[in-house]
Amino acid sequence: MMFRRTLTSLPSWVVRIILIGRRQRMGGRVMDPKAQVMAEYIQLVRRPGVFPAPAESRQQLTGLIQAFEVPAPSLARKENFTIPGPAGEIPVRLYASNSAQSGVLPVLVYFHGGGWVQGDLDTHDTLCAKLSFGAGCMVVAVDYRLAPEHQFPAAVDDCMAAYHWICQNAAELNGDPRRIAIAGDSAGGNLAAVVSQQAMPSGMPLPIAQLLIYPALDFSFETESFEEMPDAFVIPRERMEWFRGHYLRNSADISDPKASPLRAQDLSGQPATMIVTGGFDPLRSEGKAYADRLRDAGVSVQYREFEGQIHLFVCVTRVISQGDICIDEMTKFLKEQFVST
């Protein structure tokens, strides 16, 4: 374990030398050397076909992020509080890149990843702080209910309620209610896409933009990238099936657009969208398919594939520096949307 952690701290050019003759390649893509080391470390600490209890899996994700993510940047405001939800109070964390005296800020509502089973405000603390700092906005991160204790559609209901509350109360937080965007990674990208689709039919304002970071968008797992990578690093098919089994109530939920937003019939009228994927992430194909469908529906879309990257790469930037390059691109997109509104 100590060797692997030491290896992750080495410069990329040294890692390339160490990996000579065994670099991961697929379809013309070559895995980023630091991503490969990170992925091999994750495989080293897991046993194929063996899954911990949900509580233990949450501790594992927390430990992984603590070990391989940098500390969050300092911000003028960082506050924890709760907001009303459909089944009780929902914990949220507010980040603001300047003081309240500096004027109202655009708002980004953020839903964390973790397979609907893992993740919380702390696992994505650094990422949310970086988004706030880089985009010059307020971020409100939402700690929705997790499965299997709370199965679908509990997470959707919490995220819808949180988005609605923030739209109604943004001004009291010193946020601009006319400039509210949504974002999320992995399972959180799924939830962000669902909230965006359901906002107007539910009588809520449409977000001005959505940022979907390697989103999970179709629970069938019948895509080209899943076929290419059944044993993918970080989220192999068996792990995705484990997440699905905990989150969904039954097989009928797979076709529900609130679970699989890629299956929504009409995507017209969706806000400007940025979708980020990794070339070695089995969720790549559904992210690309969603971008194509949005574009075909007349939506402004930026699609960005980081060809050498794995799932989770924006949350382990102590190891994978390309995660920060991605964050810079994402905050540029957000700033452009906030300014144009």
Residues designated catalytic: 186, 281, 311
Please tell me the distance from the alpha carbon of residue 220 to that of residue 315, in angstroms, as a whole number. Answer: 26
Strand order in the sheet with 105-111: 77-85, 88-96, 138-142, 105-111, 175-185, 209-213, 272-278, 301-306
The reply to whether omega before 282 is within 30° of 0 (cis) is: no
- The Cα-based distances of 173 to 144, 187, 280, 294, 339 in angstroms read 20, 27, 39, 32, 20
Which stretches of 136-283 are DSSP H helices? 154-169, 187-199, 224-228, 237-247
Length of the chain: 341
Instruction: Give the burial class of 341: count Cβ atoms within 10 A of its Cβ; 0-12 exposed, 13-18 middle, 19 or more buried.
Output: middle
Element (H, E) at 91: strand 88-96
Instruction: Give the burial class of 173: count Cβ atoms within 10 A of its Cβ; 0-12 exposed, 13-18 middle, 19 or more buried.
Output: buried
